[in-house]
Amino acid sequence: MNALSDPRRRRLLGAAGAWALAGGLPATAAAGQLEEPLADSVRGALASSIASSAPPVPDFHSTEARLTYLRWLGRMSERLVRRQPDLQHRVEFLQTVWYESRRAGLDTATVLGLIQVESAFRKFAISSVGARGYMQIMPFWVRLIGDGDVGKLFHMQTNLRFGCVILRHYLDRENGDLFLALGRYNGSRGRDPYPNAVFAAQKNWVVAA
């Protein structure tokens, strides 16, 4: 099912995005993530992020690929400056989002849209049920994968790796249906507001051709 093919979903898209930006979707949005058995590949991807402390360094196969990335980085940095004024932090954040989204086979603009809805780009966001960080990761994930230290979810790369791998996991569970995968991430599978809010926010992070 195409998430944008349903006319009712398209009509709700603009309203849902405005609702999210106005605070209609609180930072508790990811509280519905469910503890469930994980494939070894998912477990390994999450565990490796806990052991890593530095932002990943992108590797490019050509000069053109590097230039494309640098153009993207410059445009996204301009759009994010009001939310993250510190240049070094902003560049490291965008570099990590770019790396982790592509590593997980996700659209980078979608991941940025999800972060906007989940935490408004606040590194230390905490929901009322304890979801943490940029992508509002529930503490049970570090108990499943690591040593249970939920403070590690405030580490930028760990949080972004977890969020991207979890969304990829849900996307695989839903046979590639992003609408349902976003609903599963949020705990509202099959309902419109959260996925449509992410789709609306995603538009802020698309690079025009």
Whether residue 128 lies inside any domain: the answer is yes
CA distances for 55 relative to 92, 98, 99, 129, angstroms: 6, 11, 9, 28
Q: What residues pair up with 132 in beta bridges, in sequence order?
A: 126, 137
Q: Is the pLDDT of residue 25 over 90?
A: no
Q: Is the pLDDT of residue 8 over 70?
A: no
Whether residue 112 lies inside any domain: the answer is yes
What is the residue range of 177's domain? 7-205
Top pLDDT among 36 and 99 is at 99
Q: How many domains would you assign to the chain?
A: 1
CA distances for 49 relative to 26, 43, 65, 89, 152, angstroms: 27, 10, 25, 19, 10
pLDDT (tens digit per residue) in 133-157 = 999 999 988 887 767 788 989 999 9
Weakest-pLDDT range from 57-71, 75-89, 99-113:
57-71
Whether residue 179 lies inside any domain: the answer is yes
Q: What is the pLDDT of residue 60?
A: 86
Whether residue 151 lies inside any domain: the answer is yes
**Domain containing residue 100: CATH number:** 1.10.530
Whether residue 2 lies inside any domain: the answer is no
